[in-house]
Protein backbone atom coordinates (compact mmCIF):
# COMPACT_ATOMS: atom_id res chain seq x y z
CA UNK A 1 0.00 0.00 0.00
CA UNK A 2 1.07 3.57 -0.68
CA UNK A 3 0.55 5.88 2.30
CA UNK A 4 2.25 8.96 0.86
CA UNK A 5 -0.94 10.61 -0.39
CA UNK A 6 -2.71 10.07 2.92
CA UNK A 7 0.22 11.44 4.90
CA UNK A 8 0.57 14.50 2.66
CA UNK A 9 -3.18 15.05 2.88
CA UNK A 10 -3.05 14.84 6.65
CA UNK A 11 -0.10 17.25 6.78
CA UNK A 12 -2.00 19.68 4.53
CA UNK A 13 -5.06 19.41 6.76
CA UNK A 14 -2.95 20.14 9.86
CA UNK A 15 -1.22 23.09 8.16
CA UNK A 16 -4.52 24.67 7.13
CA UNK A 17 -5.96 23.94 10.58
CA UNK A 18 -3.07 25.72 12.28
CA UNK A 19 -3.45 28.81 10.12
CA UNK A 20 -7.07 29.38 11.18
CA UNK A 21 -6.27 30.33 14.80
CA UNK A 22 -3.04 32.01 13.66
CA UNK A 23 -5.03 34.43 11.49
CA UNK A 24 -7.50 35.13 14.30
CA UNK A 25 -4.73 35.83 16.82
CA UNK A 26 -2.71 37.89 14.34
CA UNK A 27 -5.67 40.09 13.48
CA UNK A 28 -6.54 40.48 17.15
CA UNK A 29 -3.05 41.56 18.21
CA UNK A 30 -1.75 43.35 15.10
CA UNK A 31 -4.75 44.06 12.88
CA UNK A 32 -4.36 43.69 9.14
CA UNK A 33 -1.04 45.52 9.12
CA UNK A 34 0.76 42.18 9.59
CA UNK A 35 -0.16 40.98 6.08
CA UNK A 36 3.37 41.58 4.70
CA UNK A 37 4.68 38.95 7.14
CA UNK A 38 2.33 36.40 5.59
CA UNK A 39 3.44 37.53 2.12
CA UNK A 40 7.13 37.06 2.91
CA UNK A 41 6.47 33.70 4.55
CA UNK A 42 4.41 32.62 1.54
CA UNK A 43 7.11 33.65 -0.91
CA UNK A 44 9.74 31.87 1.20
CA UNK A 45 7.64 28.71 1.29
CA UNK A 46 7.13 28.74 -2.47
CA UNK A 47 10.79 29.46 -3.16
CA UNK A 48 11.80 26.70 -0.77
CA UNK A 49 9.40 24.39 -2.56
CA UNK A 50 11.23 25.03 -5.81
CA UNK A 51 14.69 24.49 -4.33
CA UNK A 52 14.39 21.29 -2.26
CA UNK A 53 15.03 17.87 -3.75
CA UNK A 54 12.50 15.92 -1.71
CA UNK A 55 9.09 15.78 -3.38
CA UNK A 56 7.38 15.50 0.01
CA UNK A 57 9.13 18.48 1.53
CA UNK A 58 8.50 20.40 -1.69
CA UNK A 59 4.77 19.69 -1.49
CA UNK A 60 4.62 20.66 2.19
CA UNK A 61 6.51 23.91 1.59
CA UNK A 62 4.16 24.71 -1.29
CA UNK A 63 1.14 24.07 0.92
CA UNK A 64 2.67 26.22 3.64
CA UNK A 65 3.40 29.00 1.13
CA UNK A 66 -0.08 29.07 -0.33
CA UNK A 67 -1.62 28.81 3.13
CA UNK A 68 0.25 32.01 3.96
CA UNK A 69 -1.08 33.67 0.81
CA UNK A 70 -4.63 32.60 1.69
CA UNK A 71 -4.12 33.98 5.20
CA UNK A 72 -3.66 37.47 3.77
CA UNK A 73 -7.20 37.34 2.40
CA UNK A 74 -8.44 35.83 5.65
CA UNK A 75 -6.89 38.68 7.68
CA UNK A 76 -9.06 41.18 5.86
CA UNK A 77 -12.09 38.89 6.15
CA UNK A 78 -11.39 38.53 9.87
CA UNK A 79 -11.44 42.31 10.24
CA UNK A 80 -14.95 42.28 8.75
CA UNK A 81 -16.02 39.49 11.10
CA UNK A 82 -14.74 41.49 14.08
CA UNK A 83 -16.61 44.60 12.94
CA UNK A 84 -19.80 42.51 12.73
CA UNK A 85 -19.25 41.42 16.34
CA UNK A 86 -18.61 37.77 15.54
CA UNK A 87 -15.17 37.92 17.19
CA UNK A 88 -13.92 40.09 20.06
CA UNK A 89 -12.22 43.37 19.31
CA UNK A 90 -9.03 44.22 21.16
CA UNK A 91 -9.64 47.05 23.59
CA UNK A 92 -7.07 49.80 24.03
CA UNK A 93 -5.72 50.14 27.56
* Tens-digit pLDDT profile for residues 3-56: 888 999 999 999 999 999 999 999 998 989 999 999 999 999 999 999 999 999
For the ranges 17-21, 49-53, 76-80, 81-85, which has the lowest average pLDDT? Answer: 81-85
| 8 Å CB contact between 58 and 49 | yes
Q: What is the pLDDT of residue 42?
A: 96
Is the pLDDT at 92 greater than 80? The verdict is no
Q: Does position 93 have pLDDT exceeding 90, yes or no?
A: no
Q: Is the pLDDT of residue 88 over 90?
A: no
Amino acid sequence: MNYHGILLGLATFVCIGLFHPLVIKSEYHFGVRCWPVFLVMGLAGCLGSLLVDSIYLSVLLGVLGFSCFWSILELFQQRKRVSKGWFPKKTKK
